Structure 1
Amino acid sequence: MKNALVIIDVQQGLFDETPAPADADAVIERINALSARARASDVPVILVQHEVPGTQLQHGSPGWQLDSRLQVEPADHRIRKTTPDSFLRTGLDEVLAFSGVEQVVICGYATEFCVDTTTRSAAAHGYAVILAADAHTTQDKAHASAAQIRLHHNATLPDISSFGPVIEAVPAEQIRFAS
């Protein structure tokens, strides 16, 4: 099955927050390991960047830039988005279809917003999904810690079967890309 790696919103303005997203350094290390394995297998790496005019995430601003710890290659695809759904009005589906992708590996920020919405949308668009279970993050919230939010999404997203394609949550270290 042809894969693509989709890295969502690992941007300076989101990772420079105080407090930083939970486990941020380790999450970025896991994402970098995933992207290195993907590139070694000629699997497309797609970097999604959220933008909001007039904020720290305004297109082209320092906060909109990818986090400096993220390993990026010139051949990586770049997608700009304005909603939590990386598919909505972005061209992501066209990039995946052109590349013959049948399954996406999803990681990044924020677990309960863009990662969740993009996972559901990917399945709705007919893609099987592997959620990199320890390579997505968020900040602590009043109702739950970031660790609880990640655990909740890793447990509940794979229970969604109504879209048809399978959603799995797999630790990043166990994810392999076929050449």
Structure 2
Amino acid sequence: MKIPAKETALVVIDMQTILFDPEPPEAEAVVARINGLASRAREAGVPVVWVQHETASGDLVAETPGWQLHPGLMATPSDLFVRKKMSDAFLRTELHALLAERGVRHVTVCGYSSEFCVDSSVRGAASRGYAVTLAADAHTSHDKPHATGLQIRLHENETLRNISSFHVAIDAVPAAEIAFG
């Protein structure tokens, strides 16, 4: 799937160290897929946005070791960084403004956690008029009592791609099939 680079951004949700201790399913593969997406995005001039969740106490206090991006990720100083305090990366953050000033109308989304912050951010993007491509195999979640992390990812891919009420396209495509340009 070729995505126009001029109006696109890659948005990486909550890929933070503490959230990978213990590792969710396919953790290394998800990190590698995100690095591949980020590299292809940068080569095409597409902004890469790293979103980090923060809390007032606990393991996600800003600037603490657990809050930092997963050590396997290859962020660069030219990337954009956004902090959030709610599951939706667009809610009460500067993300929408950063994207709007760059003329972005489409976001490719990946990261952690499939059923919480990734889901909320995809819906938040769509509610603001962004077309969305969910990198179908570049988001993850821990196993839960009712479903494995891989089942949750599959459920989110199917659920999100079938939402039409936002009147924008939401698709779920394997990371290797996403090309910017």
Normalised to the residue count of structure 2, the TM-score between the two structures is: 0.96
Match of 1:53 among 53, 56, 65: 56
Match of 1:122 among 120, 125, 128: 125
Asked if 1:112 corresponds to 2:112, the answer is: no
Q: Distance in 2 between matches of 1:45 and 1:148?
A: 27
Instruction: Quote the residue 2:161 is aligned against.
Output: 158
After TM superposition, the structure 1 = structure 2 runs for residues 5-154 of structure 1, keeping only pairs within 5 Å, are 5-15=10-20, 17-18=21-22, 20-154=23-157
Calculate the aligned-residue CA RMSD, in Å: 0.6
Query: What SS class does the counterpart of residue 54 from structure 1 fall into?
Result: coil
Runs of 4+, deviation exceeding 6 Å: none
Q: Distance in 1 between matches of 2:24 and 2:61?
A: 20
Read off the aligned partner of 2:52 and give its amino acid letter.
Q
Q: Distance in 1 between matches of 2:118 and 2:139?
A: 7
Distance apart, 1:131 and its partner CA? 0.1
Q: Distance in 1 between matches of 2:85 and 2:24?
A: 20
Q: Distance in 2 between matches of 1:161 and 1:91?
A: 26
Query: What SS class does the counterpart of residue 136 from structure 1 fall into?
Result: strand
Distance apart, 1:120 and its partner CA? 0.5
Normalised to the residue count of structure 1, the TM-score between the two structures is: 0.97
Cα-to-partner distance string for 1:131-152 (whole Å, 9 max, x where unaligned): 0000000000000011110000
Q: Percent identity between the aligned chains?
A: 53
Q: Distance in 2 between matches of 1:138 and 1:156?
A: 16
Read off the aligned partner of 1:123 and give its amino acid letter.
A
Distance apart, 1:46 and its partner CA? 0.2
| Structure 2 unaligned spans of 5+ | none
